[in-house]
Structure 1
Amino acid sequence: MKMHVLSGGRLRMKKSVYVPDADRQETIELPVSCFLLRHPQGNVLFDTGCHPSVSHDAEARWGAMARAMVPISGPRENVVDGLQAIGLLPQDIDVVVNSHFHSDHCGCNEFFKKATVVCHARELEAARKEDAVKSGFLPVDWDQPMPVETIDGQRDLFNDGRIVLVPVPGHTAGMTGALVNLDKSGAFFLASDAVALRSNLERELNPRNTWDPEQSTRSMQEIRRIETGGATVVFGHDDQQWREMKKGADFYD
């Protein structure tokens, strides 16, 4: 199995959202990452990043949210173009796993019309609530016609230990990470926004946009246990880590 790290866009936000003791005027640039897992039984995409249209008119798609989460990526810095650069089209993706249904993690779902979407049942329930838009769940991103398969607990996607979905609630009700076991490169835990920045895990800091701080803290403790077991934790938006990782056509295997 191979793991490709792909760009799902790039954002600028106030640093204090993620590091509560930071100056309220300081901003931070945040990479948006997606992961292509080329499993022998099918191509799996973990998160789909931002929709391409937000690079030129974010407010048209995101509304007021675009003023707090500002896209700064170019028009081709999205997962669809990233896949094309390594020879794949959207119809080549068999499974889309959404860690959660915020717009920077499911924005390109609509392109993967032949895929089955996998998410946590509580995430789907939260996104369907009447006031869900206030919590960042925009139907234009997550509400697509592809079949959706929900999980309630850990799920080994192909029953071989290579891609194991792990619920890590807190950031949202159904936040889900993935433990990816590769033959040569070892284990990676794709934490998404369960741990956005390395400093969140090291200092056990809950971002201000955390849905349930107590659950988030417990999830970080579980992720730290996974890290102690030898896995490399891939944080949701850590720019320093992003710059150090192989990306695009380069892969982990």
Structure 2
Amino acid sequence: MKLNFLPAGRLRMKKSIYVADAERSETIDLPVSSVLIRHKQGNVLFDTGCHSSVVADAEGRWGPLARVMKPMMLEDETLLPGLACTGLGPDDIDIVVNSHFHPDHCGCNQFFHKATILAQAKEIEAAKAPGADAAGYLKADWDYGQPIEPVNGEKDLFGDASLVLLPLPGHTPGTMGALVSLDRDGQFLLASDAVSLRQNLDADAAPRNTWNVEQQLKTFAEVRRIEKSGVTVICGNDDAQWQGLRKGADSYE
């Protein structure tokens, strides 16, 4: 099995959303990623990042949300060019796992016509609720008519413990991570926005954009428990960590 970290956008936001004592005018740049997992039973993408149209017209796609998270990437820094570097195209993807349905995590879902979408049942419910767009759920990003298979709790995707989906709620009702076990490079927990920045986990401090702080702190405790077993935690938006990862065609195995 192989794992590839793929660039899928870059955003600029107020740092105070993540760091409580930051100056209100201070900003932080956040990498957005997708992860390709190539298993003998199928090709999986964990998250699909930002839609390429937001490079030129973020407000046209995201509306007022574009004033909260400002795209800072070029079009070749979105998902499809990165995926092409691995020798694969959208039709080669069998499963898309969405950690949650915010638009920087499911923006390119529409391109994977042959894939089944997996998301936690609680996340699907939240995205369909009245007024969900005000909570950051934009139907134009998360729902393009592909089959969406609900996940309830933990799911061993291939039945061999190599890719296990884990509920990590708090950021949203159905935020989901993935525990990937590789033969050579060990285990990775793809935490997505359950741990946006490493300093949030280390300080046990939930960001301001957290749906439920109590659940988020329980998730932090669970992530620390997993990490103690030797697992590498991959944060959703930590630029320092992102810079140190192998990316594109350079895979982990």
TM-score by length of 1: 0.99
Q: Which residue of 1 aligns with 2:170?
A: 170
Determine the C-alpha separation between the residues in 1 that align with 2:157 and 2:140.
27
Q: Which residue of 1 aligns with 2:63?
A: 63
1:122 aligns with 2:122: yes
Amino acid at match of 2:225: R
1:233 aligns with 2:236: no
Determine the C-alpha separation between the residues in 2 that align with 1:14 and 1:203.
19
1:5 aligns with 2:14: no
- The alignment yields a C-alpha RMSD, in angstroms, of 0.5
- Greater displacement, 18-27 / 193-202: 18-27
Determine the C-alpha separation between the residues in 1 that align with 2:159 and 2:144.
27
Amino acid at match of 2:155: R
Q: CA deviation at 1:130?
A: 1.2
Amino acid at match of 2:111: F
Q: CA deviation at 1:35?
A: 0.2
Q: Which residue of 2 aligns with 1:91?
A: 91
The secondary structure found in structure 2 opposite 1:241 is helix
Q: Deviations over 1:193-224 (max 9, x none)?
A: 00000001100110000000000000010000
Q: Deviations over 1:12-54 (max 9, x none)?
A: 0000111122111100000001100001100000000000000
Q: Which residue of 2 aligns with 1:21?
A: 21
The secondary structure found in structure 2 opposite 1:63 is helix
Determine the C-alpha separation between the residues in 2 that align with 1:82 and 1:75.
10
Determine the C-alpha separation between the residues in 2 that align with 1:86 and 1:151.
28
Determine the C-alpha separation between the residues in 2 that align with 1:190 and 1:223.
10
- Greater displacement, 76-85 / 198-207: 76-85
Determine the C-alpha separation between the residues in 2 that align with 1:86 and 1:187.
21
Q: Which residue of 2 aligns with 1:196?
A: 196
Q: Which residue of 2 aligns with 1:152?
A: 152
Q: Which residue of 2 aligns with 1:131?
A: 131
Determine the C-alpha separation between the residues in 2 that align with 1:213 and 1:242.
25
Determine the C-alpha separation between the residues in 1 that align with 2:192 and 2:67.
22
Q: Which runs of 5+ in 1 are unaligned?
A: none
Amino acid at match of 1:240: A
The secondary structure found in structure 2 opposite 1:229 is coil
Amino acid at match of 1:238: D
The secondary structure found in structure 2 opposite 1:59 is helix
Amino acid at match of 2:224: R
Q: CA deviation at 1:143?
A: 1.0
Q: CA deviation at 1:133?
A: 0.3
Q: Deviations over 1:55-90 (max 9, x none)?
A: 111000000110110000001111111111221110
**Which stretches of structure 1, 4 residues or longer, exceed 2 Å deviation after superposition?**
none
The secondary structure found in structure 2 opposite 1:76 is helix
Determine the C-alpha separation between the residues in 2 that align with 1:205 and 1:23.
17
Amino acid at match of 2:44: V
Q: Which runs of 5+ in 2 are unaligned?
A: none
- Greater displacement, 45-54 / 73-82: 73-82
Determine the C-alpha separation between the residues in 1 that align with 2:252 and 2:117.
24
1:206 aligns with 2:192: no
Q: CA deviation at 1:100?
A: 0.1
1:75 aligns with 2:75: yes
Q: Which residue of 2 aligns with 1:185?
A: 185
Q: Which residue of 2 aligns with 1:112?
A: 112
Determine the C-alpha separation between the residues in 2 that align with 1:61 and 1:5.
25
The secondary structure found in structure 1 opposite 2:75 is coil
